[in-house]
Structure 1
Amino acid sequence: MNRRIAVTLTAVALAATLSACGSSDDDSEASAPKKTPAPSASAAPAADAEAAAGIPPKPDAATQARYIRALNAIDPGIVDGDEDKAVSRGRDQCSTIHNFPKDAAKQADLANQRFTSPSHPEGFGMATAPRIVKAVHSNLCPDF
């Protein structure tokens, strides 16, 4: 019996608390402009997470141009007219270089999987992949 009374009293107290939190009829509150909360996430934490994973920042225009030239010298189909995609894949490849610095076979294998195009949906082959890795490494993440 005591348990029923305790549960009932708790429910009544909760209902009273919730009704006290209701909205106010005060016109000044209703007409006040609503504040938009500031965004809680910024670009800095994302950049920090990318750096920790071995992904370098986006290259400047001159670095990007050198990188694209290096890929086009290997095979123009690697870039296939989409420089942004080539840069994105290269930055991701830097993560592989960073995480597997002494494993050239793994770097080449992942480059072959990562760098594809409509004419090379299975990659550019294991003969070309190390050259792609070298172009990525020397242009986008030489510090690894």
Structure 2
Amino acid sequence: MKRTAATALTALVLAAALSACSSDNNSTNAAPKRANTTTPSAPSKAVTDGDATAGTPPKPNVATKLGYIRALTGIDPDIVHGREDKAVDRGLNQCQTIHNFPKDKPKQTKMAEMRFTSPSHPEGFGKVKAAQIVEAVHVNLCPKF
């Protein structure tokens, strides 16, 4: 009987803890949802400028994404290696590096070399291609930086 009561009490405590955790996650997710509903509205340029100032550009639209993927594929098809969304995410992260180190091209290139990898290139694509990747990211995803 004591074992059943202890098990029930433990389950109750865990349920309370999990519901408290899920409330935190919902409140964390609530802010991005509000930001996403603001982005498609008319003042999207203001949001974009604010995001650019913060170093986090918005996800690209279809045409921009296509141009970016073409630019990467033109450098080396293995950069994308069939994972376009991952290439876009890496590019957006690279935009933060470009924003944070605007005059430090060697740092931008080094970060791109570490960030852009593939199964065939686990150590990156080398300095020359990494510099080309930085340029493709800058031109296509975050030209305001």
SS at match of 1:128: helix
Q: TM-score with structure 1 length normalisation? A: 0.68
Structure having the larger proportion of residues in helix: 2
Q: Does 1:109 align with 2:113?
A: no
Counterpart Cα distance in 2 of 1:123 and 1:54? 24
Equivalent residue letter for 2:90: R
Aligned length: 107
Kindly report which structure 2 residues correspond to 1:14-33, keeping only aligned pairs within 5 A, or say none. Answer: none
Counterpart Cα distance in 1 of 2:96 and 2:84? 19
Structure label with greater radius of gyration? 1
- In structure 2, the residue matched to 1:132 is 133
Equivalent residue letter for 2:93: D
Q: 1:120 to 1:50 in 2, by over 3 A?
A: farther
SS at match of 1:117: coil
RMSD over aligned CA atoms reads 2.3
**Residues 56 and 96 in structure 2, CA contact (< 8 A), matched pair in contact too:** yes
What residue ranges of structure 2 are gaps of 5+ in the alignment?
A: 1-22, 40-46
- In structure 2, the residue matched to 1:93 is 94
Percentage of pairs with the same residue: 61
What residue ranges of structure 1 are gaps of 5+ in the alignment?
A: 1-36
Counterpart Cα distance in 1 of 2:98 and 2:52? 13
Q: TM-score with structure 2 length normalisation? A: 0.67
- In structure 2, the residue matched to 1:61 is 62
Residue 55 of structure 1, CA deviation: 1.7
- In structure 1, the residue matched to 2:4 is none
**Residues 109 and 134 in structure 2, CA contact (< 8 A), matched pair in contact too:** yes
1:59-95 per-residue CA deviation (whole Å, 9 max, x = no partner) reads 0000000000000000000000000000000000000
Residue 52 of structure 1, CA deviation: 5.6
Kindly report which structure 2 residues correspond to 1:74-93, keeping only aligned pairs within 5 A, or say none. Answer: 74-93=75-94
